[in-house]
Amino acid sequence: MTTASPDNSLRSVYDGAFAGIQQCVQSFSAQLLPREVGSIVSVSTGIARINGLQNVGFEELLVFPGGLSGITFNLDEDGVDVVLLGDYAHLHAGQEVQRSGRVMDVGVGDALLGRVIDPLGRPLDGLGRVLTEQRLPIERPAAPIMDRAPVTEPLQTGLKVLDALIPIGRGQRELILGDRQTGKTAIALDTIYNQRDKNVLCVYCAIGQRASAVAKAVANLRAKGALAYTVMVVAEGNEAPGLSYIAPYAATSIAEHFMEAGRDVLIVYDDLTHHARAYRELSLLLRRPPGREAFPGDIFYIHSRMLERATHLNEARGGGSLTALPIIETEAQNISAYIPTNLISITDGQIVLSPSLFELGVLPAIDVGQSVSRVGGKAQRAAYRAVAGDLKLAYAQFEELETFARFGARLDEETRQSIEHGKRIRACLGQAEFSPVSVPAQIAILLALNTKLFDPVALERMAAAQQAVEEAANALADELRTRLSGVDKLTDADREQVSAAARQALAAFSSTDNAAPGAKTAIEKTP
């Protein structure tokens, strides 16, 4: 028996390999793909003028030298105007520009949770690349009306004044507006923090904010454990205006991916004032006709088409929801300015913050009289409606009486008691930042307010009294706490049980001398 020599075996392997290579070379046919290339004519602040791209489409993504991206905005006969998305200091006239053949998109998926990214999907937290398996265009049509369902589920913020008086439903658009430094972002961050263990994902979009403010928000959410279910999309104030313009659209597409997967999502736009100003800057640089306050005529459309994407999908579409909390900055409490009135007409209600309340230390500084929720009442729990139904009216009456009493008017005993009761309502609605109150505790506090159990408590002891009622509510039987948090109405037995717990907790705070000095005199002057 003869065996093949090693040389013959090796030769056969090489022959087979070369035969395969030759077959691949013979079967290969080179293909020439046409590539449309243009050149830069001029570069200005965040804008580039391009010619040579005859077939480019509106809002198509273009690739500039150095990997810089841009979006086509103006399509003219002699060229196109492009909004640049990043640092453009290295660009100059004559450089080559290529078409990408696609519109601007962003990576979506669970890999974004807990990350801080820019509108292009690039990481800003130093934790490495964000690996996503799917990309969605930043501009997408809103869900059709027939695919939407009524807003029936509340989005608990953990803030007593909101959950009781200005409730927000899952799928609602609730505007937050107020002057600078009145606590708008604090309300949004409190709401995000309260979604912990409630199966709600959050997207926080910072538009034109200072780097220090964004870093503080990230640090607070990380310290509270809320960053794990939150995506941070950041376009800082020193970035190109194009990034500020696309930031909320990219954040909305990220949130929509979770919504279409059947999940409940909360998105915060902080804030759309900077977004409108960035679009105004781009429009004026593109020589589009200015209108009121130099804003272009389509300023309403850029916000409406974005906020219309927030909704509650029906069961056939997965039953997910997207709740939007856009933030707007007013000047001298002028809510009738152009951008605030636009957004008030787009959204389903507004939360108005008052600088005067903020200066008095009433936090959150929400003006209950001007704030409204046009949807949330339908989604509010029946137990809430039972204990908070008359609270808003009583608080509004107190504010009117308090203003009247400042003039040193002679007050009767009933009016004096109404003012004292109103002061305790205001004290109970106050709340520190990052200190959410559970649903059973809120119901216990509101029920004690309605039954005037807090009236004998001195104002300086109201914070401790509230804490005692909250602890008593958290110590209730699990079955009762489940019923309070559920959709069922508050029975007489449940009401009596909660009232008894609150009454027992407040027994140590009762005082016959409950009012401020001079409160029982005929003339009362409130600070």
For the stretch 343-392, pLDDT in tens is 999 999 999 999 999 998 889 999 988 999 998 778 888 888 888 877 88
- Beta-bridged to residue 81, according to DSSP, are 49, 74
pLDDT of 260 over the 80 cut: yes
Give the CA radius of gyration of the chain: 30
Q: What is the pLDDT of residue 517?
A: 40
DSSP character at residue 84? E
Percent of the chain beyond pLDDT 90?
Answer: 67
**Per-residue pLDDT averaged across 326-341, rounded?**
94
pLDDT band at 511 (very low <50, low <70, confident <90, very high): low
* Lowest mean pLDDT segment, chosen from 85-99, 267-281, 477-491: 477-491
pLDDT of 120 over the 90 cut: yes
pLDDT of 523 over the 60 cut: no
pLDDT of 166 over the 50 cut: yes
Q: What is the pLDDT of residue 351?
A: 96
pLDDT of 169 over the 60 cut: yes
460 contacts: CB under 8 Å, gap ≥ 6: none
Q: Active site residue: 140, 288, 305, 374, which one?
A: 374
Reference 221, options 236, 232, 208, 205; nearest CA is 232
pLDDT of 157 over the 90 cut: yes
- Beta-bridged to residue 230, according to DSSP, are 202
For the stretch 383-440, pLDDT in tens is 888 888 778 888 888 888 887 777 766 778 888 888 888 999 999 999 999 999 999 9
Answer for the pair 243, 279: CB distance below 8 angstroms, yes or no.
Answer: no
Reference 60, options 85, 41, 39; nearest CA is 85
Helical ranges in 291-369 per DSSP H: 299-307, 338-346, 355-359
- 484 vs 212, residue with greater confidence: 212
* Lowest mean pLDDT segment, chosen from 8-12, 35-39, 390-394: 8-12
Answer whether the bond into residue 81 is a cis peptide, omega within 30°.
no
Rounded to an integer, what distance in angstroms lies between the CA atom of residue 198 and that of residue 195?
5
Place of tokens 């100003």: 277
Answer whether the bond into residue 364 is a cis peptide, omega within 30°.
yes
Rounded to an integer, what distance in angstroms lies between the CA atom of residue 73 and that of residue 59?
6
Q: From the CB of residue 25, how many other CB atoms can be counted at a distance below 10 Å?
A: 8
Answer whether the bond into residue 348 is a cis peptide, omega within 30°.
no
Q: Hey, what are 204's tokens?
A: 């926080």
Q: What is the pLDDT of residue 519?
A: 38
Q: What is the pLDDT of residue 247?
A: 97
Strands (E), 182-277: 200-209, 230-236, 264-270
pLDDT band at 3 (very low <50, low <70, confident <90, very high): low
pLDDT band at 471 (very low <50, low <70, confident <90, very high): very high
pLDDT band at 521 (very low <50, low <70, confident <90, very high): very low
pLDDT band at 520 (very low <50, low <70, confident <90, very high): very low
Percent of the chain beyond pLDDT 70?
Answer: 94
Answer for the pair 164, 366: CB distance below 8 angstroms, yes or no.
Answer: no
Report the b/e string of 426-442 with b at 16+ CB within 10 A. bbbbbbeebebbbbbbb
Q: Hey, what are 467's tokens?
A: 């804490």
For the chain, give the mean pLDDT. 89
Q: What is the pLDDT of residue 140?
A: 94
Reference 523, options 392, 433, 416; nearest CA is 416
Q: What is the pLDDT of residue 282?
A: 94
Q: What is the pLDDT of residue 5?
A: 61
Rounded to an integer, what distance in angstroms lies between the CA atom of residue 137 and that of residue 126?
25
Q: Among this protein's residues, is 374 annotated catalytic?
A: yes
Q: What is the pLDDT of residue 7?
A: 64
Answer for the pair 423, 405: CB distance below 8 angstroms, yes or no.
Answer: no
pTM score: 0.88
Residue 401, SS3?
helix
Amino acid symbol at 293: E
The dihedral built from the CA positions of residue 325, 463, 398 and 363, taken in this order, carries a sign that is negative
DSSP character at residue 86? S
Q: What is the pLDDT of residue 23?
A: 83
